[in-house]
Structure 1
């Protein structure tokens, strides 16, 4: 059974006043490149956008960690970059309170909505244990709650390193990156699976579009909830529950 969800809420009773704020989306403009620092792209014009700090600072940190840049404005990241906290509605980056979704998302995923809201995110939802992609909820595994440990597996065979390539150019003295619009190819045999407290829940999604995916989580709390919710991430190599074979 497939259920199309209200992207702004986790429950129909919680709809009041939860309109996603899309005001901080970056506007891209079309322009010609000037003073290329790498081989010129094909065509007379391309879409360019100012290179974000996360790209300019790329590779400064070797370990996997939460991004201080690629998150909703209201999400707070701890100093060790392993805990994300938030209050009031849905924001993307288990908790002491509220609801959450955990999974994987690409760079283009909407940060002011829960993971799985659009085509660029895949998630495992605490309520009902459903899986969510493109705002469609489907039956999947066991529900989880505060104190549970959720394992997230991403399998991309033959893709090699998950390192994202960025073409950086100098446009009028400003570092910019090229934004490609090519149709994403499906990676045969690719899949996403989840585990709850070490128990594999099965494969949730198959044949993913080729992209660079990042661990992602969403938090939901009621507007009048005093205490915020938080998610603590463990990127290994020591896990509480070892990945299933």
Structure 2
């Protein structure tokens, strides 16, 4: 057998133990930073990347925690109490993982078992080893019912063959009926659910194919596009008010139209009555669902938005890593800020060839198919030559940055006008249906937005490079709701960190991490929706005599 160069670089157990950074928190259980501990079952926080022992997660986690667990696992989402807005350990098992994750998990655990036996092994047979391991530990892989050996064998075969960038067959495979495979990773001990996509198959979120084992070859995939506004069917009352799970496909925002995912607003008056008997709220012509019954969906985690991005730009499953493609394309975060002092940072992972990064802050009107700073709605700092851009005008600001650099983005928006403290409710916008989910259809008036732009006094944007302040890049910027934005040229790759823990937190400045906006945005949106319900009740409650007994 011929070992691949990547696998041959694996560190032995003793070296890995010394490479791990051991942390002690108030005399608690040992925890490790970045590198998985050599022994026992541990889970990595998706925010601070610290590994926590199973005992601590099991005792403090909300919701069910199903043992037994594998030494290496990719089938979970975990946030520690230090990073969770609720200040508790939040552990959740993924409901339907991809079969490529099954195969990678099985191979990593098989390698570890062989190493513990004192007979390290790189390649394992598909049926006798990989499929058998998945069958024997099915309950540790997923909570879904067992699909049968034939189905598992078929999906494993497809995953191993299709994902050639992740799995490597043995060069001298003599047994064609049961070939052997290994992992194409530098060190299988670094496997974790948050960096798995970057280390292996980089697949856009929401493009999983259940019929193909939820794996695809790398490359562009045609994205769903929203129909033109005139042809979008109006939502009807037969649609489930509480669809199970979040959508995997989203309508594309284009031509001044944006589509905001809607969820049922349980705080809305009469919403319970509507859900119990929706037909009573519709005439024979089937009028659309009243908008006041729904509200804008507010994500419970700050991530790179899968919907608010250029279709060709890839967002990995961790929600923090973005990979560009060809020309400039941009992605916004899921949450914004309208006033206050906030900070986030990102690390440059790859800049192949003449790839480049422009990052900073932008409003919802900034063009996604262009670099940040192309229009009046964005402000950016470019990796090349350290140029800053706004309204397509660049000026020298500081030195550039490259792979391995951590760039901090700081914004200061004084609360001059508290009238903009609450977001728009959007309840007066029409509801449309796309892929069995409801969306508010919002038409943007860009000429009006341009005319209404006014500088906000004493506001500013500044950047940091590896903890060093580069000074003010922009001052007296336009007032508005600003999102953290990343625009990438060609195959540039970055990983964002919205806090609360940063590699290089600003010193000498008061600020809040952008992660705090998760809870704040939910409160603000709820207040806005409730104010709408209070002030507009007379507009949408039908006459008492026509309501009947509710």
Unaligned stretches of 5+ residues in structure 2: 1-224, 231-255, 264-294, 332-347, 434-439, 509-550
Instruction: Give the deviation of 1:95 after TM superposition.
Output: 3.5
Instruction: Give the deviation of 1:178 after TM superposition.
Output: 6.4
Once the two structures are superposed, what CA deviation does each residue of 1:94-120 show, in whole Å capped at 9, x if it has no partner?
131221111111111111111111111
Equivalent residue number for residue 165 of structure 1: 424
Q: Which has more strand, going by share of residues?
A: 1
Q: Structure 1's 26 and 216: CA in aligned 2 closer, same or farther, altered over 3 A?
A: farther
Once the two structures are superposed, what CA deviation does each residue of 1:174-220 show, in whole Å capped at 9, x if it has no partner?
74446463513322110000000000000011111111101111111
Instruction: Give the deviation of 1:158 after TM superposition.
Output: 1.1
Pick from 186, 200, 222 the counterpart of residue 455 of structure 2.
186
Pick from 407, 413, 420 the counterpart of residue 150 of structure 1.
407
SS at match of 1:152: strand
The question of 1:233 aligning with 2:233 is answered no
CA contact (8 A) 1:166 1:178 kept: no
Once the two structures are superposed, what CA deviation does each residue of 1:63-112 show, in whole Å capped at 9, x if it has no partner?
32111111101011111211111221211111312211111111111111
Instruction: Please tell me the root mean square deviation across aligned C-alpha atoms, in Å.
Output: 2.8
Q: Distance in 2 between matches of 1:124 and 1:141?
A: 9
Of 172-181 and 97-106, deviating more is 172-181
Q: Distance in 1 between matches of 2:359 and 2:441?
A: 31
Equivalent residue number for residue 84 of structure 1: 322
Pick from 57, 64, 77 the counterpart of residue 302 of structure 2.
64
Q: Which has more helix, going by share of residues?
A: 2
Equivalent residue number for residue 285 of structure 2: none
Q: Distance in 2 between matches of 1:143 and 1:214?
A: 23
Q: How many equivalent residue pairs? A: 197
Equivalent residue number for residue 392 of structure 2: 135
Q: Distance in 2 between matches of 1:71 and 1:155?
A: 25
Instruction: Give the deviation of 1:165 after TM superposition.
Output: 2.4
Q: Distance in 2 between matches of 1:78 and 1:190?
A: 33
Unaligned stretches of 5+ residues in structure 1: 1-23, 30-47, 222-227
Which has more radius of gyration? 2
Equivalent residue number for residue 20 of structure 1: none
Q: Distance in 2 between matches of 1:106 and 1:27?
A: 24
SS at match of 2:307: coil
Once the two structures are superposed, what CA deviation does each residue of 1:36-62 show, in whole Å capped at 9, x if it has no partner?
xxxxxxxxxxxx95642389653232x
The question of 1:103 aligning with 2:360 is answered yes
Q: Which structure has the higher relative contact order (CA within 8 Å, separation 6+)?
A: 1
Q: Distance in 1 between matches of 2:399 and 2:421?
A: 29
Equivalent residue number for residue 53 of structure 1: 261
Equivalent residue number for residue 14 of structure 1: none
